[in-house]
Structure 1
Amino acid sequence: MVYKALTIAGSDSGGGAGIQADLKTFQELEVFGMSAITAVTAQNTLGVQGVYPLPLEAVAQQIDSVVVDLRPHAVKTGMLFSSSIIHLVASKIKEHQLQNIVVDPVMIAKGGAPLLQKEAIASLKSELLPLADVITPNIPEAEVLTGMEIRTIDDRKEAAKALHQLGVNYVVMKGGHGDGEQLVDLLYDGVRFYEWVSPRIETKHTHGTGCTFAAAITAQLAKGKTIYEAVDTAKQFIQAAIEDELGIGQGHGPTNHWAFRRRQR
């Protein structure tokens, strides 16, 4: 059986994040990847030089074209940029009764450029999150979505509970923005928490880590894995991608999408 996954996100011309990172991750995990582009960015490791949202009709037609012929087993959303695009994506998820929805609430690029308009945050919370199976916020994104200040592990757990109450089945709180020499990633299923602890890697080459991590979860869910199995593999995938750095670009370089596969040999 060929497993398929659809990413609905922005295009990163530098190849480190966005649909490019998603499709590379799907491929590395032996899932056939498809895309619906929401916006085109002019972007490299130094930052985002331009953002060009696509017309709503173009986004809608991409989703429809994929779903009617190549129905995905899982769907990931990334950069959605505006309230109107979020509304459209939510309506298409309902219209096509899509399953295994993973929402990566992309808000700010690694260099600081905004990738989600402020007025779109309310739409994300009210329209898309109730349809999501999984949300994968980092700490700053969770602070925006919950209105909480997150400093401790207990704060992260409270934020996860608040996000779960918005209708998300599973909350994956990423720990990359936390303090200390160890990262702690949390999975909350509405009842209990699961933790993954890993050493912090001192490197500036972390562009696209959020996209890649969420795409790995999506790929595993497409293959019928449990949420715990999906997050566990995704954690191994992104850890390898960061540790075996490529070292390209003058700024925040991309992660190494083939590192995990090479380690399996």
Structure 2
Amino acid sequence: MKKHTYPSVLAIAGFDGSGGAGLQADIKTISALGCFATSVLTALPVQNTQGVRAIYPIPYSAVKEQIEAIMDDIVPDAIKIGMVHTAELVTTIANTLKQYPQVPIVFDPVMVATSGHKLIEDSTINAIIKTLFPIASLITPNMDEASILAKMEIKTLADMHIAGNKILQLGCKAVLLKGGHLESKLITSLYFQQDGTVTAFEYEKFETNNTHGSGCTLSSAIAGYIAQGKNLAEAITLGQDYVHQTIYHGKDVLIGKGNGPLNHFFNPQKLIKNDLV
């Protein structure tokens, strides 16, 4: 009897009890794309659609052991990293993942919540640049996060071009700078590659507050498409298309009193079965 396997994605991120962001968004996204989701919890934020109330840490040894337990058993086809809010946590994750260089990593440098709440300690940024940037296949900062990384204000598309190149010089392999906060009718994101190529993606902007977890969703979607065998450029394109649709299909739904979630399951796919070689 022929045996199969599922394309799998490991999500390493924080918790969101309101279900819109963090590991919950990651698992929903990966599942909706027909992949198998495994997960590692990095932190326990107390939050809802209105904001973050507190962040409780997970012991660093527990994070390391969670990663090793998954990697020893269900080796993922791609890894997504989200919330890492202390330098020690960053170092723990990077040092553990260095043992598995064959697995592509999509890193969403979560620093600022949709509500505007800063989620990251200043001392963590240097650790991220030093240890996580070199092992990540792609990083996906939004404009607020890019401002912190590039140490400049970003208000325009021209600013995004300057910031993206500055971030690329910090040691990243590739950068997708998300332009959702641009004051314009279109959302423009820029994909920067080490060879100097910059690719622009434009999408219609919807009038909605339901964007909670959009960054988590995008990085997970890109990882999901990589797990399916797409190259990075294809995965970025498909991932953004997916997020655009999740926002469109959830824009008129009222869940919570603040920034509502996306509709991750507007068109869920069955789990993909790949033949075992």
Residue 181 of structure 2 corresponds to 177
Residue 259 of structure 2 corresponds to 252
Question: SS of the residue aligned with 1:210?
Answer: helix
**Most deviating of 228-237 and 109-118:** 109-118
RCO higher in 1 or 2 (8 Å CA, sep ≥ 6)? Answer: 2
Q: How far does the alpha carbon of each residue in 1:198-251 deviate from its partner, in whole angstroms, 9 at most, with x for none?
A: 111111111000000111001111112011211111111111111111321111
Q: CA deviation at 1:31?
A: 1.0
Q: CA deviation at 1:112?
A: 2.7
- Contact conserved, 2:246 with 2:262, CA < 8 A, in 1? yes
Aligned mates of 2:176, 2:18 — CA distance in 1: 27
Matched, 1:45 2:49: yes
Which residue identity does 1:128 align to in structure 2?
Answer: L
Which residue identity does 1:106 align to in structure 2?
Answer: V
**Most deviating of 40-49 and 83-92:** 40-49
- Contact conserved, 1:75 with 1:98, CA < 8 A, in 2? no
Q: Aligned pair in 2 of structure 1 residues 172, 195: CA closer, same or farther (>3 Å)?
A: same
Aligned mates of 1:52, 1:140 — CA distance in 2: 23
Which residue identity does 2:114 align to in structure 1?
Answer: K
Aligned mates of 1:186, 1:52 — CA distance in 2: 34
Aligned partner of 1:118 among 117, 122, 136: 122
| RMSD over equivalenced CA pairs, Å | 1.3
Map residues 38-187 of structure 1 onto 2, 5 A cutoff: 38-187=42-191
Matched, 1:233 2:238: yes
5+ unaligned residues in a row in structure 1: which ranges? none
Q: How far does the alpha carbon of each residue in 1:25-68 deviate from its partner, in whole angstroms, 9 at most, with x for none?
A: 00011111111100012211111122111001110110000001
Which residue identity does 2:245 align to in structure 1?
Answer: A
**Most deviating of 42-51 and 12-21:** 42-51
Aligned mates of 2:159, 2:76 — CA distance in 1: 35
Residue 210 of structure 1 corresponds to 215
Which residue identity does 2:156 align to in structure 1?
Answer: T
Aligned mates of 1:16, 1:100 — CA distance in 2: 25
Aligned mates of 1:112, 1:260 — CA distance in 2: 30
- Contact conserved, 1:9 with 1:18, CA < 8 A, in 2? yes
Which residue identity does 2:48 align to in structure 1?
Answer: N
Matched, 1:16 2:23: no
Matched, 1:26 2:30: yes
Q: CA deviation at 1:98?
A: 4.8
- Contact conserved, 1:105 with 1:135, CA < 8 A, in 2? yes
Matched, 1:193 2:198: yes
Aligned mates of 1:259, 1:188 — CA distance in 2: 30
- For these two proteins, the number of residue pairs brought into alignment is 262
**Most deviating of 6-15 and 106-115:** 106-115
Task: Name whichever structure is richer in helix by fraction.
Answer: 1
Aligned mates of 2:154, 2:239 — CA distance in 1: 24
Question: SS of the residue aligned with 2:39?
Answer: strand
Q: CA deviation at 1:113?
A: 2.6
- Contact conserved, 1:105 with 1:137, CA < 8 A, in 2? yes
Aligned mates of 2:167, 2:118 — CA distance in 1: 22
Aligned mates of 2:52, 2:146 — CA distance in 1: 23
Give the alignment's TM-score, normalised by structure 1. 0.95
Q: CA deviation at 1:110?
A: 1.8
Aligned partner of 1:219 among 224, 227, 234: 224
Aligned mates of 1:99, 1:72 — CA distance in 2: 7
- Contact conserved, 1:78 with 1:106, CA < 8 A, in 2? yes
**Most deviating of 222-231 and 106-115:** 106-115
- Contact conserved, 1:83 with 1:123, CA < 8 A, in 2? yes
Aligned mates of 1:49, 1:139 — CA distance in 2: 23
